[in-house]
Amino acid sequence: MHIEYFNYFYQVAKVKSISKVAKQIHISQSALSQQIQKFENSVGYQLFKRSNKGVELTEMGEIVLQYSENILNTYKKMMTDLEKGSNISNTVAIQACHSISHYALPCSIYKIKEKFPYHQYELSTSSSDKIRSSVENNICDIGFVYGKGNEENLEYYEVGRNKFVLTSSFYYETPKEISVEDLKNYPIISMSYDNQITTAFEENLNEHDVDYDDLNIIFTLDSIEAIKSSLNRKHGLALLPYISIKEELYKKTYKVIQVKDFEISIKVYMVTRKESKNSKAVVEFANLFKKIGKDSFC
């Protein structure tokens, strides 16, 4: 089975259109359709439901999609290691949760780069569960995640905590402090957070006899930047990592609204593989980060 089959399948599954993908990769629609058909014949199941509106995954297609991303990432990592030689590579692949990746780690990486100028760092963003899987499957070298897992082949090092605060535009009219019950009265902009954050949020609400469904969630966004755009237009309130709004607080474009007896603070861990033949660059990064830790965050 060719790796290209997985690549074609993955792209079509994400875009939900054979014709659009064909244009993107500069092949004919009929040629791409044939490749998809060969892939379906190879696995022995129909993976797409086809219609004039595009394609939708079948139940079997959903299963294949779950594995395709890992297969493609593993293949990419394998080719990189073959080209560079995994034991002598100076490249360190790092994955981190959104707020850590965007607002904390860049400064840490800069400081470590000063110590090891020959290192090359590749930082990408993902969810905690996917990051753990990537580290386990040798897709990335080091991860920064929320919460500690119970995987036997992974090693966790506690970095610190990420505090989440209720935030609004500085000019949005609210009291300085509200109760958890008061949250029901305000439009809330939600984010597709990691399971650990969502669980902590819901548990805090439940302690005050408030359910998540009781809140006035006007919409859910997939990035902090998108939420900030809504806050800037005074659309409502949002629960955001403190590290992601420090600049706005300093400039007084945002404000923190205190919620009585309500606190969300999630532990952040650096995760690496145990007993792995990590490159010298990976070992040096991990060891130095343990020394400078969260003090090196932006």
pLDDT along the chain (298 residues), means of 10: 84 89 85 87 88 87 86 80 63 90 88 89 90 89 89 89 91 89 89 76 85 87 88 91 91 92 88 82 90 76
Clarify whether residues 150 and 278 are in a common domain: yes
The confidence score (pLDDT) of residue 169 equals 92
Alpha carbon of residue 137 to chain centroid: 17
CATH number at residue 187: 3.40.190.10
For CA atoms 32, 34, 40, 43, the dihedral sign is negative
Domain that holds residue 220: 161-265
DSSP 214: G
Predicted local distance difference test score (pLDDT) of residue 257: 92
| Residue 33: closest CA among 24, 43, 21 | 21
Backbone Cα Rg of the chain: 22
- Position 71 scores a pLDDT of 86
Give the CATH number, domain containing residue 11.
1.10.10.10
Where a domain ends, among 16, 51, 80? 80
Question: Do residues 49 and 186 both lie within one domain?
Answer: no
With b meaning 16 or more CB within 10 Å and e meaning fewer, what string describes 221-245? beebeebbebbeeebbbbbbbbbbb
Specify the residue for token string 């959903």: 62
Q: Any bridge partners for residue 154, and if so which?
A: 273
Contact 81, 89 (CB under 8 A): yes
| 254 and 182 belong to one structural domain | yes
Tell me: do 127 and 69 sit in the same domain: no
pLDDT score, position 144: 94
Q: Yes or no: say if 72 and 66 are a contact pair by the CB < 8 Å rule.
A: no
- Kindly state whether residues 210 and 68 are assigned to the same domain: no
Domain count, the chain: 3
Residues 275 and 151 in one domain: yes
Tally of CB atoms within 10 A around 249: 15
d(CA 62, CA 67): 9
Same domain, 180 and 242: yes
**Residue in the structure block whose two tokens are 């992601």:** 244
Select from 25, 58, 80 the last residue of a domain.
80
Is 243 in the same domain as 190?
yes
Secondary structure element (H or E) that encloses residue 201, with its range = helix 195-207
Q: H-type helices in the chain, by residue range?
A: 3-15, 18-25, 29-43, 59-84, 98-103, 105-115, 128-136, 195-207, 224-232, 246-251, 280-292
Please indicate, yes or no, whether residues 116 and 138 belong to a single structural domain of this protein.
yes
Please tell me whether residues 176 and 54 are part of one structural domain: no
C-alpha to C-alpha distance for 190 and 173, rounded to whole angstroms: 19
Q: Please tell me the predicted confidence (pLDDT) of residue 156.
A: 93
Q: Are residues 135 and 216 in the same domain?
A: no
Are 182 and 48 within one domain?
Answer: no
Last residue within a domain, chosen from 34, 60, 80: 80
Q: What pLDDT does residue 270 have?
A: 94
